[in-house]
Amino acid sequence: MTEIASPQPHRVGAALSAARSAVGTVAGERPWSMTPAQTEQALDDIAALEAQTAELKSRVLMHAEALDLPGEMGAGSVAALLAQRHRTTRPEAHRQARLAKGLDAHPMTATAMSEAAVHSEQALAIIAGLEALPDDLEPDLKTRAEEHLIELAADYDAKALKNLARTILEVVAPDLAEAHLARQLEKLERDAEDANRLHLWETTQGRVRGNFDLDGFSGACLRKALFALSAPKHRAAAGPLGERMPTNQRLGQAFAEYVRRYPAGKLPKAGGLNATVVVMMSLESLLGGLKAARLDTGEHISADLARRIACEAGIIPAVLGGKSEVLDLGRSRRFHSRAQRIKATIEQRGCIAEGHDCAPAFTQMHHPHLWSQGGRTDADGWMLCPSAHRQVHDPRFTHERLPNGTVRFHRRP
């Protein structure tokens, strides 16, 4: 009976087996006795080994696709095979599959990675930059672009490489760069705006939560507005007792203020009216009662909050009588005029709360005789920063106007 010789192990398999065996010999070995120089070298060697292993894995993945190994194992793709067999998350599996396809299409980058000259993140950045080049670009220019990006990988991380890759034409083909960059930015911005998303939902506690995904420009505008409202350079945003608030709390309060004070006149009309929130409350509640007020959107708010927001933009207090007839739908002018603000700027020079120094541009005008209780919109308005304005309406505090013109707050006992 003739014995069938078993096939010789493939060089790739043999190398991987040897590498596993070599690393296995130090399993559990504590590196406590390594010198700083040895530790640094070990970290460099591990990073190089990871890059070389990732490049080899990419080659094997492409071979697995050629053999239709995913189909034989009931997986729809190489990424699905990775997620299924190696218990990898799908985002990570798809990242590895993209790297494999990219290295297969760009052998020069694959070679650099096999020599540990670039790592996985850098390789993906280089590949993304090369694939964004014009399709009709001459092959030698694409080669020069790839060579240049690989050289830059010695000094720049993946994020910087991604930015440099966007302008690589300025290096290899300056005459084509400007027009290509303009087309590229137009496409990026168009795609980014199409991808804008906002999800809102109401919790059982009556709060509204959500998440959003904005294009870079809109995100930068929102970030700038919120940081300006939450912590301008000239003042430190503080809580009711003067303590420094956490950044997320300051930004949350700034976002709430941003939404509440957006000019209602700039919003499109719905049902013949600007998108303005109407607060409906009884005369008793307006004058100090405890009965909740109701918004025209269906939600309920406390009477105290209704009285406080009566002097803020975008909200109309509708005071109702016993049979819900409208007693007052706002007086003829609720907001201080430009001339009145200029007068207050000259006389008060910003927030008049004791210990505050908010500049006039960042203040809100407060009615010392509450507008919700019949106060007039006249030249006697107080300039208060958003924090002080919230505090002056906070029932936990009382306040007094001192002879020097500042407003002092006291915690109620």
Q: Is the pLDDT of residue 42 over 80?
A: yes
Question: DSSP 3-state assignment of 408?
Answer: strand
Q: Which two tokens stand for residue 75?
A: 């997986």
pLDDT score at 35: 94
Residues 344 and 379 sit within 8 Å (Cβ to Cβ):
yes
Q: Is the pLDDT of residue 283 over 60?
A: no
User: Which backbone phi and psi does 277 adopt, to 5 degrees?
Assistant: -80, 130
Q: Distance (Å, rounded) from C-alpha 253 to C-alpha 303?
A: 20
What is the residue extent of each domain of the chain?
Answer: 261-330, 338-411
Residues 115 and 154 sit within 8 Å (Cβ to Cβ):
no
Q: Which two tokens stand for residue 354?
A: 């004791």
Give the list of residues 6+ apart from residue 191 with CB closer than 8 angstroms, or none: none
Give the burial string for 136-148 (b: 16+ CB within 10 Å, else e). Answer: ebeeebbeebbeb
pLDDT score at 104: 94
Q: Which has the higher per-residue pLDDT, 254 or 378? A: 254
Residue among 398, 308, 388, 397 nearest 348 (CA): 388
Q: Which has the higher per-residue pLDDT, 163 or 375? A: 163
Q: Is the pLDDT of residue 329 over 50?
A: no
Q: Which has the higher per-residue pLDDT, 72 or 362? A: 72
Q: Which residues pair with 294 in a beta bridge?
A: 280, 300
Q: Is the pLDDT of residue 331 over 50?
A: no
Q: Which has the higher per-residue pLDDT, 30 or 323? A: 30
Q: Which residues pair with 326 in a beta bridge?
A: 320
Average pLDDT over residues 315-339: 49
pLDDT score at 326: 43
Q: Which of 10-19, 21-30, 339-348 has the lowest mean pLDDT?
A: 339-348
Q: Is the pLDDT of residue 137 over 60?
A: yes
Q: Which residues pair with 198 in a beta bridge?
A: 212
Q: Is the pLDDT of residue 276 over 60?
A: no
pLDDT score at 271: 37
pLDDT score at 212: 79
For the chain, how many residues are written? 413
Q: Is the pLDDT of residue 282 over 90?
A: no
Q: Distance (Å, rounded) from C-alpha 159 to C-alpha 167?
A: 14
Q: Which of 129-138, 283-292, 313-322, 366-375 has the lowest mean pLDDT?
A: 313-322
Q: Which two tokens stand for residue 136?
A: 């009709």
Q: Which has the higher per-residue pLDDT, 196 or 313? A: 196
Q: Which two tokens stand for residue 171?
A: 């290096």
Q: pLDDT-derived band of residue 53, with 50, 70 and 90 as boundaries? A: very high
Q: Is the pLDDT of residue 338 over 90?
A: no
Residues 185 and 167 sit within 8 Å (Cβ to Cβ):
no
Residues 255 and 412 sit within 8 Å (Cβ to Cβ):
no
Instruction: Give kind and range of the element (H or E) at residue 410.
Output: strand 407-411
Q: pLDDT-derived band of residue 315, with 50, 70 and 90 as boundaries? A: very low
Q: Which of 2-11, 13-22, 240-249, 291-300 has the lowest mean pLDDT?
A: 291-300
Q: Which has the higher per-residue pLDDT, 346 or 53? A: 53
Average pLDDT over residues 134-163: 87
Average pLDDT over residues 64-93: 88
Q: Which of 89-103, 121-135, 303-317 has the lowest mean pLDDT?
A: 303-317
Q: Is the pLDDT of residue 254 over 70?
A: yes
Q: Which two tokens stand for residue 77?
A: 């793709």
Q: pLDDT-derived band of residue 116, with 50, 70 and 90 as boundaries? A: very high
Q: Is the pLDDT of residue 285 over 60?
A: no
Mean pLDDT across the chain, nearest whole number? 75
Question: DSSP 3-state assignment of 338?
Answer: helix
